[in-house]
């Protein structure tokens, strides 16, 4: 199969492929999604197959507007307020499922469904022209860093999907916040993202908290809760310490003969670049949004370099920094220093 690249002028062709059950990746403001029409169970099953995604990991459905009553059992008042405030945008909401609307494979056996309206003009047009919402898990091989460019998608899925709608580099670079509106104790964040608790609570009041990751026996209610994600082939070591800790870690790995890849702020790159085989700057240390936007691209870049280990910098887990650390901790195989 040849994977064709589409743009704004050829969206009609991409939509026709989706209507016929083919898979087409699309851009969002977060990461690229692997699109299939959400009412076609064979197409949705193919998403799992192409990605190598575990069958108990549910999918997020992408819609083109805020009129969602036809897709869910009911729309709580809190959801109306959240959609008004944050849609289109990087917020996924979990609703009670309406029977017979989406393909059974979409929800992975749950009686709930996750919806979001992406803030990406081309993709909203693609959904409208397709005529039905699209599933859109990250368009990568399952477990690997999510794609933030069409070239990343092509690297992982060339020859496996029909097409890619190229919308350039994604603006946020980390997956959406997932908020469960069906929790009996109140709304719960299942996955942190660019929309934070501080932004949500003025709209709907105090949240019930954040969900713990699903264990081996529990089916996850949302993506990102159970399985290791975002990891390149090389081990990623999360460095959460002072300058002396960085020096000790670099000395330790170089002492073993390892070639080092450095994923860090521009300040740390400037200090330690001569000790590394390859480096990728996350931008100024004080700009955690830039670091978040560059994280996956950096992991992918260093994955292609002749390095044995990737040393990655921790950031303060506040605001979008919580999402950055959530993804980096899932990618990391160890922390240094051990605490």
Q: Note the pLDDT tens digit of each residue in 290-311.
A: 999 999 999 999 999 999 999 9
| Residue at which a domain ends, from 210, 245, 277 | 210
| Mean pLDDT estimate for the chain | 94
Does the residue 147 lie in any domain?
A: yes
Does the residue 221 lie in any domain?
A: no
Does the residue 219 lie in any domain?
A: no
Query: Quick one: 133 and 175 in the same domain?
Result: yes
C-alpha 127/C-alpha 141 separation (Å) is: 23
Q: Which of 133, 147, 153 is nearest to 175 (CA)?
A: 147
Does the residue 127 lie in any domain?
A: yes
Tell me the binding residues for L-threonine: 30, 62, 116, 176
Query: What CA–CA distances, in Å, run from 269 to 111, 252, 265, 307, 312?
Result: 47, 18, 6, 16, 11
Query: Quick one: 101 and 186 in the same domain?
Result: yes
SS3 sequence, 29-51? Answer: CCCCEEEEECCCHHHHHHHHHHH
Per-residue confidence at 324, pLDDT binned at 50, 70, 90?
A: very high
Query: Quick one: 141 and 247 in the same domain?
Result: no
Strand partners, 135: 36, 61
Does the residue 227 lie in any domain?
A: no
CATH number for the domain that contains residue 167 = 3.90.870.10
Contact 95, 181 (CB under 8 A): yes
CA 38 to chain centre: 19
Q: Note the pLDDT tens digit of each residue in 138-154.
A: 999 988 999 999 999 99
Query: Quick one: 11 and 125 in the same domain?
Result: yes
At residue 82, the 3 state secondary structure works out as helix
CATH number for the domain that contains residue 302 = 3.40.50.11030
Query: Quick one: 21 and 120 in the same domain?
Result: yes
Q: Please state the rounded mean pLDDT for residues 133-140.
A: 97
| Residue at which a domain ends, from 210, 228, 244 | 210
Residue 42: Cβ-neighbour burial (10 angstroms; 0-12, 13-18, 19+): exposed
Does the residue 123 lie in any domain?
A: yes
Query: Quick one: 32 and 165 in the same domain?
Result: yes
Q: In what order do the strands lie in the sheet with 309-313?
A: 278-281, 260-264, 309-313, 236-239, 334-336
Query: Quick one: 21 and 135 in the same domain?
Result: yes
Residue 19: Cβ-neighbour burial (10 angstroms; 0-12, 13-18, 19+): middle
Structural domain containing residue 280: 236-336
- What pLDDT was estimated at residue 224? 59
Contact 173, 192 (CB under 8 A): no
Residue 122 token pair: 């081309």
Per-residue confidence at 282, pLDDT binned at 50, 70, 90?
A: very high
Does the residue 308 lie in any domain?
A: yes
Neighbours of 211 (CB within 10 A): 17
- What pLDDT was estimated at residue 54? 86
- Contacts (Cβ under 8 Å, ≥6 apart) of 332: 231, 236, 237, 238, 312
Q: Note the pLDDT tens digit of each residue in 149-190.
A: 999 999 999 999 999 999 999 999 999 999 999 999 999 999
Does the residue 192 lie in any domain?
A: yes
- What pLDDT was estimated at residue 209? 74
Tell me the binding residues: 30, 53, 57, 62, 112, 116, 138, 146, 176, 191, 230
Query: Quick one: 247 and 204 in the same domain?
Result: no
Q: How many domains does the chain have?
A: 2
- What pLDDT was estimated at residue 202? 97
Per-residue confidence at 220, pLDDT binned at 50, 70, 90?
A: low
Q: Please state the rounded mean pLDDT for residues 277-285.
A: 97
- Contacts (Cβ under 8 Å, ≥6 apart) of 221: 58, 94, 110, 112, 180, 190, 211, 214
Lowest mean pLDDT segment, chosen from 131-145, 224-238, 290-304, 319-333: 224-238
Bridging pattern class, strands 33-37 and 24-26: antiparallel
Query: Quick one: 193 and 252 in the same domain?
Result: no
Full-model pTM:
0.94
Q: Note the pLDDT tens digit of each residue in 32-75.
A: 999 999 999 999 999 999 999 988 889 999 999 999 999 999 99
| Residue at which a domain ends, from 147, 175, 210 | 210
Tell me the binding residues for ATP: 53, 57, 112, 138, 146, 191, 230
pLDDT tops 60 at residue 269: yes
At residue 270, the 3 state secondary structure works out as helix
pLDDT tops 70 at residue 226: no
Query: Quick one: 151 and 264 in the same domain?
Result: no
- What pLDDT was estimated at residue 231? 85
Query: Quick one: 70 and 181 in the same domain?
Result: yes
- What pLDDT was estimated at residue 212? 54
Contact 114, 58 (CB under 8 A): yes
Query: Quick one: 59 and 117 in the same domain?
Result: yes
């Amino acid at each position: 199969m040849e994977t064709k690249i589409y743009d704004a002028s050829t969206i009609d062709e991409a939509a026709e492929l989706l209507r016929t059950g083919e898979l087409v990746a699309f851009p969002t403001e977060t990461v690229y999604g692997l699109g299939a029409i959400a009412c076609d169970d064979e197409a949705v099953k193919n998403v799992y197959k192409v990605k190598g995604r575990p069958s108990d990991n549910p999918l997020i459905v992408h819609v083109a507007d805020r009129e969602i009553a036809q897709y869910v059992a009911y729309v709580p008042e809190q959801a109306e307020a959240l959609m008004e405030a944050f849609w289109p945008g990087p917020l996924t909401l979990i609703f009670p499922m309406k029977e017979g609307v989406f393909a059974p494979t979409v929800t992975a056996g749950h009686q709930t469904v996750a919806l979001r309206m992406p803030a990406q003009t081309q993709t909203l047009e693609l959904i409208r022209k397709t005529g039905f919402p699209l599933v859109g898990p990250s368009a990568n091989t399952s477990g690997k860093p999510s794609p933030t460019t069409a070239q990343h998608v092509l690297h992982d899925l060339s020859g496996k999907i029909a097409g890619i709608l190229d919308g350039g580099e994604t603006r946020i670079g980390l997956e959406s916040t997932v908020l469960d509106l069906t929790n009996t104790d109140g709304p719960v964040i299942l996955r942190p993202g660019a929309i934070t608790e501080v932004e949500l609570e003025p709209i709907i009041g105090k949240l019930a908290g954040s969900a713990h990751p699903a264990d081996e026996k529990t089916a996850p209610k949302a993506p990102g809760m159970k399985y290791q994600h975002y990891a390149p082939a090389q081990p990623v070591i999360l460095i959460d310490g002072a300058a002396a800790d960085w020096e000790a870690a670099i000395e330790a790995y170089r002492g073993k003969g390892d070639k080092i890849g450095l994923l860090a702020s521009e300040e740390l790159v400037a200090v330690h670049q001569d000790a590394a085989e390859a480096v990728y700057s996350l931008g100024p240390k004080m700009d955690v949004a830039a670091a978040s936007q560059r994280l996956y691209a950096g992991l992918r870049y260093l994955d292609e370099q002749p390095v044995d280990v990737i040393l990655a910098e921790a950031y303060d887990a506040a605001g979008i920094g919580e999402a950055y650390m959530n993804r980096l901790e899932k990618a990391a195989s160890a922390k240094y220093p051990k605490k």
